Amino acid sequence: MNLVKALLFNLLSLSIGFAYKPVVLMHGIMTGSGSMEIIKHRIEEKHPGTVVYNVNRFESWSSLESMWHQVLEIGLDVANISASHPEGINLIGYSQGGLVARGIVETFSNVSVSTFISLSSPQAGQYGAGFLHLVFPGLVKETVYELFYSKVGQHTSVGNYWNDPYHQPLYETYCMFLPYLNNHKQSKKSEEFKANMLRLKRLVLIGGPDDDVITPWQSSQFGYYNANETVIELRNQEIYKDDKIGLKSLDESGRLHVLSVPGVNHFNWHMNVSVVDDYLLPYLD
Ligand SMILES: *[C@@H]1O[C@H](CO)[C@@H](O)[C@H](O)[C@H]1NC(C)=O
Ligand SMILES: *[C@@H]1O[C@H](CO)[C@@H](O)[C@H](O)[C@H]1NC(C)=O
Ligand SMILES: *[C@@H]1O[C@H](CO)[C@@H](O)[C@H](O)[C@H]1NC(C)=O
Ligand SMILES: *[C@@H]1O[C@H](CO)[C@@H](O)[C@H](O)[C@H]1NC(C)=O
């Protein structure tokens, strides 16, 4: 009986030309696809018929492998998924997963993303003990740049987006990922990165003041510290004002959604059903 219902639903969807696009979920650091199951089940329940792919690569300790490596490997899988859904896909990344996902959006011109949702991801980088101590409890945020801004340090994902406001020249010299992904440093890929971002139909940046891990929490919305640790919000950042990766263009064409949600700790974003209902589902087409 359920099978018959599902078939009828699919036929109906096809005949009225309406069906939700598939969703790809990308997990955070030191966890895996299991941590994204609540989101998966809620989407399937509320938007019946949606195909949800839950990325199960680079789980646990391998989530610490370098960001470019993860972007290029997972990107090939997502390109395959995209190829079998010509109507486009939606992409949701949580925490570090939102940065891997943006890397895929910017790098893979054969991945067609309709909505990209970044769920509390350090999009402008990270400078805080909370995040650091998830993985490296013994390290100190003031001095860890000495490790991260080196060839060895760049072999870990966290080093690839560690953005120490007091050591910007070293960040620019050694960091192999974030300065390039943000077109803060120009490369021969810069134009392509921006062009690929501009193909998005919607970019949704979710974060909030009670996160307690992403530091500053505004990094989830491309806000960040200046040289004296004052937070400068997205629209006053160079990346926005100079439209380095298309954020301003997306905003001016009504495609950028910046959501600040209070009352959610970093470890609850992907566990909280009302977050799924109120901030994820409405943006999925
Ligand atoms: C992508 O699909 C092709 C063709 O089906 C397959 O040969 C290849 O292994 C797939 N690659 C990945 C990364 O899944
Ligand atoms: C997508 O593009 C990458 C190169 O950017 C290529 O290696 C990969 O095979 C392509 N995948 C598909 C499914 O077209
Ligand atoms: C810190 O930065 C803000 C904003 O750029 C500036 O107004 C302020 O004067 C700075 N304070 C110090 C102590 O440098
Ligand atoms: C769940 O999310 C809502 C916002 O949608 C928030 O008000 C509430 O505090 C959150 N609860 C937990 C336990 O994170």
Task: Give the separation between CA 177 and CA 210, rounded to whole angstroms.
Answer: 27
Global pTM value = 0.93
Name the residue of 70, 72, 73, 80 whose CB sits within 8 Å of the most ligand 1 atoms, as the mutation to test its pocket.
80
**174-229 pLDDT, tens per residue?**
999 999 999 999 999 999 999 999 999 999 999 999 999 999 999 999 999 999 99
Position 10 scores a pLDDT of 57
Position 184 scores a pLDDT of 98
pLDDT at 62 over 60: yes
Residues contacting residue 134 through CB under 8 Å, at least 6 positions apart: 29, 30, 213
Position 11 scores a pLDDT of 55
**Is there a contact between 214 and 208 (Cβ–Cβ < 8 Å)?**
no
Task: Give the separation between CA 79 and CA 109, rounded to whole angstroms.
Answer: 9
How high does pLDDT run on average in the chain?
Answer: 95
**17-54 pLDDT, tens per residue?**
568 999 999 999 999 999 999 999 999 999 999 999 99
Starting from the CA of residue 73, give the closest ligand. Answer: 1
Position 263 scores a pLDDT of 98
Position 13 scores a pLDDT of 56
Q: What percent of the chain has pLDDT over 70?
A: 94
Query: Looking at the 3D structure of the chain, how many domains does it have?
Result: 1
Task: Give the separation between CA 283 and CA 30, rounded to whole angstroms.
Answer: 27
Report whether residue 227 contacts ligand 3, using a CB cutoff of 6 Å: no
Domain assignment of residue 246, given as a range: 2-283
The residues that are catalytic are 95, 211, 266
Is the torsion defined by CA of 262, 141, 96, 173 positive or negative? positive
CATH number at residue 214: 3.40.50.1820
Nearest ligand 2 atom to the CA of 107 is 5
Starting from the CA of residue 279, give the closest ligand. Answer: 4
pLDDT band, very low/low/confident/very high, at 8 (cuts 50, 70, 90):
low
**Helix or strand holding residue 71 (H, E):** helix 67-83
Taking alpha carbons only, the member of 38, 52, 54 closest to residue 89 is 52
- Centre of ligand 2 to C-alpha 195, Å, is 17
**Helix or strand holding residue 54 (H, E):** strand 52-54
Q: Whose CA is nearest to atom 5 of ligand 2?
A: 108
- Centre of ligand 2 to C-alpha 129, Å, is 38
Local structure of 10: helix, strand or coil: helix
Report whether residue 72 contacts ligand 2, using a CB cutoff of 6 Å: no
Q: What percent of the chain has pLDDT over 90?
A: 92
